[in-house]
Amino acid sequence: MAGDWFLRVNPKPMEAKKNPRYDVQRQSGKFFLIGLVLSSAMAITAYEWTSIKKVYPPRPHDNKEEMPYNHAVRTDHPKPEEPKVKAPKIVIRNPDITKLTLVQDDQPEDSVSIVKQNEQAPLPAPPIEKPIDDDQPWISAEIQPTPVNGLARFYEQIGRELKYPKQARQMNVEGRVVVQFVVSKTGELTDFTILRSLGAGCDEEAIRVLSKTKWEPGRQRGKPVRVRMAMVVNFRLHH
């Protein structure tokens, strides 16, 4: 009985003794420091990570300064006026040409065949009101020169006297000779000029025969004047 009363009246708590291996509070300070260091390191790392600016290489279409856009503007310029070119004046030197075709003289048929360019005598040109120059030959007069006794007798005379040159026959030369001459006031042929040469004696033969012909002089306002004319003599061999 006495023992039970002592326990009730003056109870004495018992100290709980912990095993050092299982005492968590014993190393709490160390764990606190470790946690503090880790949390600080993570905070610093997170701050540095968010503050880093990513730099990407520039793309071609993003760099507007290096690749300017050139917009071509079409400009219509007025076409420069082309200089006006004056057409050259064509001077007809010899309006009346008579063709004579000459063949070899050793053929059985006629030795000269004549081809007429104009069947009739040339028509008179319209009158030109200007002073008459006696020395300057006319190209076209009011009344053109014509052979004496007509064109038919003129062709006959040429056919009789014109011979095929021996040198031209040996060299087998054929073609035409263009002879220019002036019919004087008296009807004689002067100032012979070869406009187209054939050579081999043909030029000289054409001039020789034409110089023997007689013409009626041309007239301007009723007065005889000198008139420049030309003829074509064709030389042709029979093969």
Give the model confidence (pLDDT) of 90-138 as tens digits.
333 433 444 554 444 444 333 444 444 444 444 455 555 555 556 789 9
Go through the domains of the chain in sequence order and give each one's CATH number.
103-126+137-235 (3.30.2420.10)
Q: How far is CA 111 from CA 118, 161, 202, 209, in A?
A: 22, 10, 15, 15
DSSP annotation of 72? -
Phi, psi of 28 (to 5 degrees): -65, -35
Give the model confidence (pLDDT) of 197-239 as tens digits.
988 899 999 999 999 999 999 999 999 999 999 988 888 887 6
Phi, psi of 54 (to 5 degrees): -75, 130
Residues in the chain: 239
pTM for this entry: 0.47
**CB-CB contact of 194 with 63 (8 Å):** no
The single residue listed with the structure tokens 């200007």 is: 130
